[in-house]
Amino acid sequence: MVGNLSAIGAMSAKNIVTDYLLNLSASADVLALAKVEINLAAIPEGKNVVLKWRGKPVFVRHRTAQEIAEANTVNLDELRDREADADRTQKPEWLVMLGVCTHLGCVPLGEAGEYGGWFCPCHGSHYDISGRIRKGPAPLNMEIPPYEIKDDDKLVIG
């Protein structure tokens, strides 16, 4: 009788632990948000695309040669958060960044502001064409998510 109770207790404990661990694992909808793929060939030069990744907007900009040159001529000593354009991109023509202002989390407007990049209407932060903070209360550049460009035309974020 004691052996039977021990076996039932052990099975119950195993089932409780298994159920608990299964509830901790990510659900299918969460796993689906872990990576986002986009066809870069569909984005014309000089245009932005906004997509959602992990519940946040991601800005993908196909930059022109003029925009790349402009981003590279900025004196890094003038920047609050000193970061070269080459350190923010894997390929100069593609800028991929989280579309969230680093001040209080608002979504900046594209192709706006004093530096031709993004402008946050909430508190007036201005970002350049590389997503670097140039003016306003934001303390940091817009964040670059983990991403990879495959076969020159496929972007995988996450």
Tokens 């991929």 correspond to: 96
Of 62, 103, 123, 126, catalytic: 123
Asked if residues 64 and 47 have their Cβ atoms less than 8 Å apart, the reply is no
Strands 109-112 and 94-98: unpaired
| Whether 62 is catalytic | no
Helix H segments across the chain?
2-24, 28-33, 65-72
The set of long-range contacts for 147-153, using a CB threshold of 8 Å and a minimum separation of 24, is 147/90, 147/96, 148/90, 149/40, 149/90, 149/91, 149/94, 152/40, 153/39, 153/40, 153/41
Q: How far apart are CA 77 and CA 57, in angstroms?
A: 29
List, by residue number, the catalytic residues. 123
